[in-house]
Amino acid sequence: QVQPVESGGGLVQPGGSLRLSCAGSGVTLDYRAIAWFRQAPGKEREGVSCISSSGGSTYYADSVKGRFTISRDNAKATVYLQMNYLKPEDTAVYFCATVVFCSGFGPKQSDVDSWGRGTQVTVSS
C-alpha cells in the first residue's frame, strides 16, 4: 500500500505563503489521484483540494479557491499544494491522501485509499 508522506508545514503570518509536498513512501504516487484534507481543532476533517493522476483535473473547496494551487510533478512523484494569502482560519493539520479519483464535487474521506500522517500549518501573527 502506498503511504503518502507530507512535508512543508510550519508557522506563517497572515497573508504569507507555504508550499506543502506529498511524496510516496516506498511506492511512487505518479499513477494515483491525490487529495489534500485538513482538520482544525474541534472541527471535522474537510477536503481542500484534489488532482487527478494525469494532473488534468483539479478541485478546490470554495474556502481556498483563488489562494491555493495543487500541482504534481510525476517525474518526481510528488504533489504540491501552494498556499498563498493564508488566513488564520487556514490553521489546521493538513493530510495528503491517495484517492480513488478526483471528483468535481470534492474529495470525500470514503474515497481515500491511504492517509499520510499530516503536517501542521499555523497561521498567526
pLDDT tens by residue, 73-106: 888 889 999 999 999 999 999 999 999 999 889 9
Q: What is the pLDDT of residue 7?
A: 96
| 112 touches 35 (CB < 8 A) | yes
Q: What is the pLDDT of residue 76?
A: 84
Q: What is the pLDDT of residue 27?
A: 60
Q: What is the pLDDT of residue 77?
A: 85
Q: Which residue has the cell 509536498?
A: 21
Q: What is the pLDDT of residue 88?
A: 97
Q: What is the CA radius of gyration of the chain?
A: 13
Q: What is the pLDDT of residue 31?
A: 78
**What's the gap between Cα 13 and its chain centre?**
20
What is the biggest distance separating any 2 CA atoms in the chain, rounded to whole angstroms? 39
- State how far the Cα of 92 lies from the Cα of 9, in Å rounded to an integer: 10
Long-range CB contact pairs, 106-113, < 8 A, 24+: 106/47, 106/50, 106/59, 106/61, 107/35, 107/36, 107/37, 107/47, 107/49, 107/50, 107/59, 108/47, 109/37, 109/45, 109/47, 111/35, 112/35, 113/1, 113/2, 113/32
With a cut of 50, which residues of the chain have pLDDT below it? none
Q: What is the pLDDT of residue 34?
A: 95
